[in-house]
């Protein structure tokens, strides 16, 4: 009974790396409109319940983007590579900024209904920063493969890009995170599946 209550309300757990993380709350997620499969405990795109108080994922195909403007903050950083520079292909070392900031924290405009992916795609294009992604129908989201020509697996087999919003690493893809006024969106390069950048489960890309 106690375990059932913890699963429904959300509680702190220990992952396979020995790191603490906050388990999702199925009750809270359903109340926010997330449709869960009782058999798997996930939604139809394999997403676990979100922790209490965190936003549930949206389905981008169902969202209408309006002309209403808002502002939030965006940054792209690869400082973790500098700490593991020996793992990086020597031909790519020149792509790593001295301070790790590919795109420093900047206040940017977004439109109501846009996702973290929409924002990243527009700002990278606007600032002439390379970005490559692929669509992942299974997870109903874009998957960020590379930014500034730094790709997943370039700095170890557990490396790649992850994102966090307001210091939380969402457990779903960037196309499914709906932006809100004053959100702080950070894209960070991890060399250890998120463990080295403060993410207990590595977040989603």
What tens digit of pLDDT does each residue of 69-79 get? 999 999 999 99
Domain assignment of residue 185, given as a range: 60-197
Residues 153 and 116 in one domain: yes
Residue 26 — pLDDT band, cuts 50, 70, 90? confident
In a domain, 133, yes or no: yes
The answer to whether the beta carbons of residues 77 and 186 sit under 8 Å apart is: yes
In a domain, 131, yes or no: yes
Residues 1 and 64 in one domain: no
Residues 97 and 178 in one domain: yes
Residues 50 and 71 in one domain: no
Residues 165 and 143 in one domain: yes
Give the predicted TM-score (pTM) of the model. 0.86
Rounded mean pLDDT, 43-53 = 93
Q: Is the pLDDT of residue 28 over 70?
A: yes
For the chain, the average pLDDT equals: 88
Residue 11 — pLDDT band, cuts 50, 70, 90? very low
CA atoms within 13 A on the CB side of 114: 23
Residue 144 has a CB neighbour count (10 Å cut-off) of: 26
Rounded mean pLDDT, 44-50 = 94
In a domain, 205, yes or no: no
Q: Is the pLDDT of residue 151 over 70?
A: yes
Residues 163 and 142 in one domain: yes
Residues 182 and 85 in one domain: yes
Residues 153 and 104 in one domain: yes
What tens digit of pLDDT does each residue of 80-92 get? 999 999 999 999 9
Task: Return the closest-CA partner of residue 149 out of 137, 161, 163.
Answer: 161
Rounded mean pLDDT, 124-145 = 97
Residue 94 — pLDDT band, cuts 50, 70, 90? very high
For a pLDDT cut of 70, what percent of the chain falls above it? 86
In a domain, 204, yes or no: no
Residues 3 and 64 in one domain: no
Residue 59 in tokens: 């389905």
Residue 81 in tokens: 């590579």
Domain boundary among 30, 56, 82: 56
Domain boundary among 38, 56, 74: 56
Q: How far is CA 66 from the centre of its chain?
A: 23
Residue 85 in tokens: 């520079």
Residues 28 and 74 in one domain: no
Residue 204 — pLDDT band, cuts 50, 70, 90? low
Residues 102 and 163 in one domain: yes
Separation of alpha carbons 143 and 172, rounded Å: 10
Give the CATH number for residue 118.
Answer: 2.170.130.30
The count of domains in the chain is: 2
Q: Is the pLDDT of residue 2 over 60?
A: no
Separation of alpha carbons 72 and 118, rounded Å: 13
Residue 31 — pLDDT band, cuts 50, 70, 90? confident
């Amino acid at each position: 009974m106690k375990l059932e209550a913890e699963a429904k309300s959300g509680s702190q757990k220990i992952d396979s790396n020995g790191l603490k993380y906050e388990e999702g709350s199925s009750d809270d997620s359903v109340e926010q409109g997330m449709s869960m499969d009782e058999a798997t405990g996930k939604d139809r795109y394999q997403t676990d319940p979100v922790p209490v108080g965190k936003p549930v994922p949206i389905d981008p195909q169902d969202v209408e983007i309006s002309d209403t403007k808002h502002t939030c903050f965006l940054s792209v950083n690869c400082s973790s590579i500098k700490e593991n520079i020996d793992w990086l292909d020597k031909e790519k070392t020149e792509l790593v900024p001295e301070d790790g900031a590919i795109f420093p924290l900047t206040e940017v405009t977004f439109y109501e209904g846009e996702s973290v992916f929409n924002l990243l795609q527009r700002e990278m294009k606007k600032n002439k920063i390379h970005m490559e992604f692929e669509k992942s129908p299974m997870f109903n989201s874009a998957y960020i493969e590379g930014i500034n020509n730094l790709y997943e697996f370039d700095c170890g087999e557990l490396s790649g890009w992850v994102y966090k919003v307001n210091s939380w690493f969402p457990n779903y893809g960037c196309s499914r995170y709906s932006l809100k006024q004053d959100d702080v969106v950070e894209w960070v390069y991890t060399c250890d599946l998120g463990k080295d950048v403060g993410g207990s489960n590595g977040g989603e890309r």
